[in-house]
Amino acid sequence: MTAAPKAAGPSNLTLRILSGVVLITVAMAGVVLGGIPFWLLCVVLGLFMMAEWSDLHGVRPQTRRLAQYALSVPLAIMMPVVGAGAGFLSLGLLVGAAFFVVIVTRLPGLARGILYVGLPIMALLLIRHQHEGVVLTLWALALVWACDIGAYAAGRLIGGPKLAPAISPNKTWAGLAGGVATASLFAAAMHLHYGLPLRLTLATPFLAVLAQAGDLYESWLKRQAGVKDSGTLLPGHGGVLDRLDGLVPVAPVAALLILLPKVYWW
């Protein structure tokens, strides 16, 4: 008797698209709601990121929990309305938490994770708190999404020389150019239709390159750890770090650009 063929599950691309749609929907809902809901979303993602960072550095579960507890203190202070919000106090506590972790664990790599996770969260909360915070936060998030999509499409369609084959063999120079172009077009559309400041529009290509650099850095971390993905939480995507690696360097720089004094003709 011939065994019945095993039912084929959804392809990795299908899972990637579906989970990507869910992630973007949740992120946009959090941005629009703002306040405590957006802060809570950032905190939950941050604690998952800290856990994955700890795993990439090969620490024990007890040490991983210690790092998460240390990070949770400045994240709690960043709570809007109830807490002090994102500001100098939160920044000082982030640095203090990193010092605490390195003193207690003697693991500088683990302590760096406090800043790696905490700084972009603080930056996003600062951006969302600004006037026109919804538009500005969506710009910071969506330029990374647009860069990822453009890089993936250009890399698949054009191919060509590899960008950094020793770190990420699938990335190409064509993908980098496609990501920068897609992010730039997206920013131009936001400038025309939603009044995105010109200085942010013009800075978008640089931020797109920065997003790709963040992606490469996380790929290097995974190679050092000998793993394909930072985690398994997100179907088709891997871990939370795998999805937010480009945002990690972009968010703090975007916050600085937004907080800089505005030039009147921009």
* Tens digit of each residue's pLDDT (9 = 90 or more) over 102-151: 999 999 999 999 999 999 999 999 999 998 999 999 999 999 999 999 99
pLDDT tens digits for range 70-99:
999 999 999 988 778 888 999 999 999 999
Q: Is the pLDDT of residue 7 over 60?
A: no
Domain that holds residue 45: 13-259
Structural domain total, the chain = 1
On whether residue 193 sits in a domain, the answer given is yes
Tell me, yes or no, whether 264 lies in a domain: no
Give residue 12's pLDDT.
Answer: 61
Helical axes 247-259 vs 133-157, angle rounded to 10°: 140
pLDDT tens by residue, 220-232: 999 999 998 888 7
8: in domain: no
CA–CA gap between residue 30 and residue 202 (Å, rounded): 27
Task: Compute the average pLDDT of residues 42-47.
Answer: 96
What pLDDT was estimated at residue 84? 81
CB of 242 within 8 A of CB of 218? yes
Is residue 5 in a domain?
no
Encoded amino acid at 183, one letter: A
pLDDT tops 70 at residue 9: no
Residue whose pair of structure tokens reads 């994955």 in the numeric block: 52
pLDDT of residue 236: 65
In a domain, 185, yes or no: yes
232 within a domain of the structure (yes/no): yes
Q: What is the pLDDT of residue 13?
A: 61
Q: Residue 261's pLDDT band (boundaries 50, 70, 90)?
A: low
pLDDT at 245: 92
Q: At residue 16, does pLDDT exceed 90?
A: no
